[in-house]
Amino acid sequence: MRPELAARLGENVPRYTSYPTAPHFHPGIDAAVGRSWLEALENGDEISLYLHIPYCDRLCWFCACHTKQTRHYEPVTAYLRSLHAEIATIARIVGGKAGVRAVHFGGGSPTMLKPQDLVALGAALRGSFDFLPDAMISVEIEPNDMDDARLDALAEIGMTRASLGVQDFDPKVQQAINREQSFLLTKTVVDGVRSRGVGSVNLDLLYGLPHQTRQSVSSTVAQALTLEPDRIALFGYAHVPWFKKHQTMIDEAWLPDSVERFAQSRIAAGLMLRAGYEAVGFDHFAKPGDALAIAARTGALHRNFQGYTEDSCETLIGLGPSSISRFRQGYLQNMPATAEYGRMVKAGGLAAVRGIALSEDDRVRGWIIERLMCDFGFSALDLVERFGDAGQRLLLKASSIALRDPDGLLELDCDRFVVPPQSRPFVRSIAAKFDRYLETGKARHSVAV
């Protein structure tokens, strides 16, 4: 599977959970713009909600999320008051025009919330927004937080998908990333959510961690498969110590090189494919009957800030500090500092402080990048029919890339531009060729494979 390319293309490029990516947001798109975009929602629109819980009771050294460690619950209680205020403000602006199709609780660690606070948050959402009957509710779970009361609370708020962080079961790797979590504990939580009627379980695994080897990755995947998850997300560890200072706790000498990372990813993928899972995009796997696998087969797969999704809502409203909203008109990000975020929403306003309005060129490039990331290709005819002259201009760029690419990462097959199977692990590098902001920005990113 082309290890020579892994060495040469081990470049730092975005994960493309949005386009343009967050480093290119600017303060010219602010709360006033966000209010106008919310007011522009139409009757009958469907929306998704993302709730960010920016606290953990233990800081994992590999984590690149916006979160902070706290050993006391008082800051969490104060934050929840702010979050409830933001929910109320946005609900007033939306005014019941839109139905909620999906909710995702992320962090940080949503499951460090006390059971009564989880239930109160779920009640606030349902009391403020109109939920569609089959709305999906997914929650990121830290197994070390869990007990029966929290499991009962998650069932009470209607959780339909549990996403458990695993990373790696090897004790040496766990110690190096400050995330000790036994297989037995993980199994207990999986059994607990299933016994409460939750129909879908996702496991997050990582490769490229300190002290990881091909053998340890294989062992972790084998153990994970015994839990029969409906989905597995296989992420490459993003070592960004210039962005997340706690990652300096990880000695870079412990990290595998790009060729070893690539080998680990291919071994893990092979084990999952042989177990009957279907590849979804370049880093997700799902059972054939899972909605994510069906979306991938039918061309209905999408990509947002949570990764690959079957959620087709055009509007995603982010709640909480640093959370990002997506609208038809563009992207909007909340104030990252928790205290300042709290002051803004308690004053009755929105917490948005930066974003970007989409140009027609952004829309075309964003569509190409999403289709490459989701379908490993796109139709030239579809491109031009959707975007007219703007699509025609990008068609010429795509043709130039395909004709001049010595590595064969992008090929022209009749009317379709396709990423051949052997090149799919490098799809982020291919997508980056359509990113007009990448060379002009100063942001640093994680490695592509």
pLDDT digits (tens), the chain, 449 positions:
566 676 666 567 899 999 999 999 999 999 999 999 999 999 999 999 999 999 999 888 888 888 889 999 999 999 999 999 999 999 999 999 999 999 999 999 999 999 999 999 999 999 999 999 999 999 999 999 999 999 999 999 999 999 999 999 999 999 999 999 999 999 999 999 999 999 999 999 999 999 999 999 999 999 999 999 999 999 999 888 887 888 888 999 999 998 899 999 999 999 999 999 999 999 999 999 999 999 999 999 999 998 999 999 999 999 999 999 999 999 999 999 999 999 999 999 999 999 999 999 999 999 999 999 999 999 999 999 999 999 999 999 999 999 988 888 999 999 999 999 988 988 999 999 999 998 775 555 455 55
Residues 6+ apart with CB under 8 A from 369: 16, 19, 431, 434, 435
Q: Are 377 and 409 in contact (CB under 8 A)?
A: no
CA distance readout (Å), 268 to 205, 206, 211, 228, 260: 9, 10, 16, 15, 12
Measured between alpha carbons, how far is 86 from 385 in angstroms, rounded to an integer? 40
Domain architecture of the chain: domains with CATH: 1-16+359-438 (1.10.10.920), 21-319 (3.80.30.20)
Max distance between CA atoms of the chain, in angstroms, equals: 61
Write down the residue that tokens 């300096």 correspond to: 248
Query: In the prediction, which pLDDT does 246 show?
Result: 83
Question: Which residues lie across from 162 on neighbouring strands?
Answer: 139, 201
What is the model's pTM?
Answer: 0.93
Specify the amino acid at residue 106: G
